[in-house]
Structure 1
Amino acid sequence: MHNSFYQITGGSLRPGAPTYVEREADDILWKFTQSERNNCDVCYILAPRQTGKTSLINKTVDKLRSQPNICVTISLQEFGNIDSESSLYLNLIRSICKQVLDIGIIKSGTKPVNLVKKLDGLWSKDQNVQPTVKFREFLIAEILKKINTNLVIFIDEVQGLISWKLNNEFVGFLKSLTENNNEPTLKQLAFVLLGVAKPSDLVTNYTYAFNFGKHIEISYFTGDCEPLQAGIKTVTNNPQKVLNAILYWTGGQPFLTQVLCDLVARNPQILENTDIEDYIKKIVDDKIIVNWRRQDQQNHLNGIDKWFYTTSPDQKLTKLAALRIYRSLLGSGKGAIKFDEYNSLHWELLISGIVKKEDDYLKVANSIYEQIFNLNWVYERETFLQEDSMSQVPFSTIYNRDVFILIDQSASMVRKDADTGEQTRYQYLEEVIEGHINSILSETTGQEKICESVSVYFFSRNQVDDYPIKVSDAAQVQSLFLENKPKTKTFIGPTIDRCLDIWLAEGKPKNRGAFFIIYTDGLFDDEPRFENCLKKACNNIEDEKTVKFIILGLGKDIDEMSFLNLYFNVNNRLPYNVFVFNLVNEVDDIIQELERQLVDDPSLAFPEWVKKKYPEFVKKVNAPR
């Protein structure tokens, strides 16, 4: 690797590096370290690889050390393999002691106190004291009470906690420090956590909550990025124009921007009449995109690629669901979707680095990624994950299913609501269901489809037709609605029972799962029978992913809480969680809604509207039982 003005090798920028570009995160982090605190405080920076997290810390620590503050920097990678809580907290407090000892601020007379030696003598004394208690008490008594200044502890590579399976307990411990009002010295203490991890990865047990601290986002490069111009001034008289063309391709991704700046700076002088956009495009094509796996010496592009196939078995479905969202970004035309901070799949894409958040929207991170991680790449990754997942876990994907569509035909469907505008509920549903059926019939991956046709039933009376209507083309929906007008009561039992019998006789023996998608505007007149059908389904399966009964509600008459109690099995009425409830107008993509039911991620269980409208219910469900 040649010497370069730019940072094109792995690792972080040193303090004072000439190509360091300040971003909003610099100012936010600095203010966090300087703010007055009433107690211990925490902030966290969770971002993809090679976005400048550690460089930001190096710059901040260098600046802090010119003030009367004590800074400690710890990388969890240095600890190797941690196999217990005791080992984790001992290694943490030893690292803190060593760095405080090097500063020499704690003294006995004129000599620095050997905190490490003192710690080693105390740590092993009482085996009945929890390691978190030992850590806290030593930190307070031997460090905080003796330094008379602030202590900022930077902990990098926090994703290590996840592999050690100590993430929940560590987050819980930090939260306890922030809530401790009995020890005034804790206001001298602040933690800064950094890593490549989703919030839902750091807290996987709902007895803990990641609802404290400040999240600092690291943005990509924007504006004139003056520090980057110095290196390309050697080959052009218009460095800003060249840099703008570079940023167009990199989207401001920090490492990729430095790499492309270096490629330009190593080229001959750019002639005055050169078309800059074409010039930069040719460099991008020749030096980055073509044979990208071979040319990517610093594992930047390959790292993103591996994120989606080098993964544990229980994460494969999550990766598949995240790729579906990414595919919609590539193919939607609008190129952006609203970011939901509670959506683990959105975080999955963000932390992979393949997308970025801009003005609260997710979009493909840059034009280079769009060329490399294109629809063909998505297809390859989906095929790999799909085949691998299906070989390990039956019914773990949305494919190879019997799909039953059940449509409420009760008289109340002629009513109008604010959500349906000038249309009746029934008229409104027609277009929704046509779109849903079209998506279901069109969805494929590799050689797999969800189904060749869907089975449609209209329900209202306390009886049922012998056979469902087979729909193999969504265009059939319009005529079905014309032929089946709203009628009387809302009896679901006979219809859902018939659908279940059909699946048990035809689908299950052929190892097909099933989705029962029910569109309704209220409670059922035979709710006990509906519940009995759910129990009947549970008695005929061994895995709750085999079948899902998905109610999509419409209109102001929906008893949301009744359905939510059944959805989250509050009273343990069902042996398996096979029932799902959502609102028609909260489902942007029926395929994503189906996939969400099969992903082993508790953070995805609650639709966003439930969290906002029923926070006490969410708290009740999440409480340990």
Structure 2
Amino acid sequence: MTPFNYYKLGGSLEYQHPTYVVRKADSDLYEGLINGNLCYVLNSRQMGKSSLRVHIMKQLKEQGIKCASVDLTRIGSHLTPSEWYGGFVSELLRGFGLSRKVSFGTWWRQREFLPPKQRLSELIDDVLLIEISGKIIIFIDEVDSILGINFKDDFFAFIRACYNQRADNPEYQRLTFCLLGVATPSNLIADKNRTPFNIGQAIELTGFKPAEVAALARGLEAIVARPKAIIEEVLKWTGGQPFLTQKLCQLICIYQNSFPAHHEEECVKKLVQTQIIENWEAQDEPEHLRTIRDRILQSPENQTGRLLGLYQQILHQGQIPADDSPEQTQLRLTGLIVKQEGKLRIYNYIYAEIFNQTWLDKVLINIRPYSQSLNAWVNSNFQDESRLLRGQTLQDARIWAADKGLSDLDRKFIDASQELEKRDVQKRFQAEAEASIILAEANEVLLVANQKAKRRIKIGGGVLAITLVAAMVAGIWANMMVKDTPQWQKNCLCQ
């Protein structure tokens, strides 16, 4: 195998592929299935779930355990229950090598009077547990491909019932299942009136650790001067994410002359920047980064807002406490976020460089009508109230948010805006009340002044009247005096 095809991008790694990395999940899954536990490996895309299944199945078969794998994408989802269950039964017969002993078409048609799920139950009772001795393990891959069909709750409830059956039928102790896909246990049975899918053992599938990647480093031995130093720098950028780690190792093989000894850090950084981060949408082959983007943006609209809001908190704070809420779980299933030591953080530096604040701002402009205001408010440490919404803008935001699953940050912003509007209204009412009081006081002062003026006018009128009367009396008296005065006195007075 040449260095250029040593690494494999996309698809499952065949058994004993030189780049297969053995992780803790390998031993956890093997032991869980050997002990008869229902196990589920539920994680984001391109984390190595199917490769893990291939390797564990091979190990189990080497121990004499009968295994079969059903990839649900082979059956499809736009089918009637009868068609879908028929496809599942056909895959089981073929997987266990029983298709020659049991003619599927004949067997299925003979039971057309039974509901499809009951026919599957009869296959287990009358065929698998009869024809196969010893342990039987059924791997069901890509379970997320049927989360949208209306009878998926029945199917996963049936799997749970197989475990409940162990109490009544010891033969069911030999049967176990392993579920793999991009989902959560709560996704499997969504009907609130049913018992949730609360059984089984979760297998945690983490990224590659430095102590686990010797197989990857071997592919670089003839390529670079210091393979171990190179692989350490690779893990710093990828965080051990399986697909990205394989891709970066393959890029190093292609650009092998660019990694002189003791310059590993700057050389790997340059390679990441030029071959992965810059113009990332065009260089994303096989597709990986666009899958993460689309899983966020193509969520139902009432989830997209919450996922982006949650991611914004992590982007601003670096990490947040993990509480396993539905929103956090859905964001983790995109692959963008990882849970470590009880905290949620961005999985790796490559994701952080690509899905940065600039990218988030562009996306949020199409999601939130108030993105710029919210960002400015956050950047002010939630202190700049001029950035909060008011009036019609706030009303428009309320209408937009009515059917959206808002993040805590969105809710905090809208609540703060509503509180500010409430205070503004209270201030306006208070101002109006104070103005009313001032106006009432002014009217009272004016009334008193008018009353005083009227009293003064009355008094002034009386004085005037008295004065006029006195003047008139004085005039009359003067005239009388003149009439009674002798003529010689008048003459003297005139002289």
Fold conserved between structures, TM > 0.5: yes
- Structure 1 residues 368 and 83: alpha-carbon distance in aligned structure 2, compared to 1, 3 A threshold: same
Partner of 1:264: 252
Query: Does the 8 Å contact 2:43/2:182 carry over to 1?
Result: yes
Partner of 1:376: 358
Offset, 1:123: 2.6
Offset, 1:370: 0.4
Query: Does the 8 Å contact 1:198/1:344 carry over to 2?
Result: no
Partner of 2:276: 288
- Structure 1 residues 507 and 277: alpha-carbon distance in aligned structure 2, compared to 1, 3 A threshold: closer
Deviations 1:137-184 (A, max 9, x none): 221221113311111111111111113233322222212112122221
Distance in 1 (CA, whole Å) between partners of 2:315 and 2:65 is 47
Partner of 1:121: 106
Partner of 1:137: 122
Partner of 2:59: 63
**2:144 is the alignment partner of 1:159:** yes
Offset, 1:48: 1.2
> Please, which runs of 5 or more residues in structure 2 have no aligned partner?
416-495
Query: Does the 8 Å contact 2:140/2:178 carry over to 1?
Result: yes
- Structure 1 residues 248 and 149: alpha-carbon distance in aligned structure 2, compared to 1, 3 A threshold: same
Distance in 2 (CA, whole Å) between partners of 1:175 and 1:360 is 29
Distance in 2 (CA, whole Å) between partners of 1:442 and 1:274 is 52
Offset, 1:189: 0.8
Distance in 1 (CA, whole Å) between partners of 2:182 and 2:356 is 23
Partner of 2:479: none
Worse-matched range after superposition: 140-149 or 265-274:
265-274
1:451 to 389, 392, 404: 389
- Structure 1 residues 593 and 386: alpha-carbon distance in aligned structure 2, compared to 1, 3 A threshold: closer
Q: How does 1:268-417 map to 2 (within 5 A)?
A: 268-269=256-257, 273-311=261-299, 315-332=300-317, 335-341=318-324, 343-386=325-368
Find the residue that maps to 1:362 and give its secondary structure. strand
Query: Does the 8 Å contact 1:307/1:352 carry over to 2?
Result: yes
Partner of 2:442: none
Partner of 1:174: 159
Distance in 2 (CA, whole Å) between partners of 1:138 and 1:360 is 43
**2:199 is the alignment partner of 1:203:** no
Find the residue that maps to 2:328 and give its secondary structure. helix
Query: Does the 8 Å contact 1:6/1:258 carry over to 2?
Result: no
- Structure 1 residues 371 and 120: alpha-carbon distance in aligned structure 2, compared to 1, 3 A threshold: same
Residue 83 of structure 2 aligns with an amino acid whose one-letter code is S
Distance in 1 (CA, whole Å) between partners of 2:83 and 2:263 is 59
Find the residue that maps to 2:12 and give its secondary structure. coil
Deviations 1:335-394 (A, max 9, x none): 2222222x111111111011112122211010010000001111222222346xxxxxxx
Query: Does the 8 Å contact 1:324/1:592 carry over to 2?
Result: no
Offset, 1:591: 3.7
- Structure 1 residues 249 and 138: alpha-carbon distance in aligned structure 2, compared to 1, 3 A threshold: same
Distance in 2 (CA, whole Å) between partners of 1:157 and 1:246 is 29
More strand by share: 1
**2:134 is the alignment partner of 1:149:** yes
Query: Does the 8 Å contact 1:7/1:255 carry over to 2?
Result: no
Larger CA Rg, structure 1 vs 2: 2
Partner of 2:83: 87
> Please, which runs of 5 or more residues in structure 1 have no aligned partner?
103-111, 388-396, 401-433, 444-448, 454-505, 515-542, 549-587, 597-625
Find the residue that maps to 2:97 and give its secondary structure. helix
- Structure 1 residues 260 and 544: alpha-carbon distance in aligned structure 2, compared to 1, 3 A threshold: closer
Query: Does the 8 Å contact 1:248/1:367 carry over to 2?
Result: yes
Partner of 1:54: 50
- Structure 1 residues 275 and 182: alpha-carbon distance in aligned structure 2, compared to 1, 3 A threshold: same
Distance in 2 (CA, whole Å) between partners of 1:544 and 1:327 is 18
State the structure with bigger RCO (CA 8 A, min sep 6), 1 or 2.
Answer: 2
Offset, 1:260: 0.6
Offset, 1:100: 1.9
Residue 24 of structure 1 aligns with an amino acid whose one-letter code is K
More helix by share: 2
**2:59 is the alignment partner of 1:76:** no
- Structure 1 residues 325 and 262: alpha-carbon distance in aligned structure 2, compared to 1, 3 A threshold: same
Residue 163 of structure 2 aligns with an amino acid whose one-letter code is T
Q: How does 1:476-491 map to 2 (within 5 A)?
A: none
- Structure 1 residues 63 and 440: alpha-carbon distance in aligned structure 2, compared to 1, 3 A threshold: farther
Query: Does the 8 Å contact 2:66/2:135 carry over to 1?
Result: yes
Distance in 1 (CA, whole Å) between partners of 2:106 and 2:176 is 26
**2:167 is the alignment partner of 1:188:** no
Deviation above 4 Å: which 4+ runs of structure 1?
Answer: 269-273, 397-400, 437-443, 592-596
Distance in 1 (CA, whole Å) between partners of 2:327 and 2:33 is 31
Distance in 2 (CA, whole Å) between partners of 1:344 and 1:279 is 40
Query: Does the 8 Å contact 2:224/2:256 carry over to 1?
Result: no
Partner of 2:220: 232
Find the residue that maps to 1:255 and give its secondary structure. helix
Offset, 1:589: 4.8
Residue 221 of structure 1 aligns with an amino acid whose one-letter code is F
Residues matched between the structures, number: 407
TM, length-normalised to structure 2: 0.74
Query: Does the 8 Å contact 2:296/2:307 carry over to 1?
Result: no
Query: Does the 8 Å contact 1:171/1:202 carry over to 2?
Result: yes
Percent identical across equivalent pairs? 27
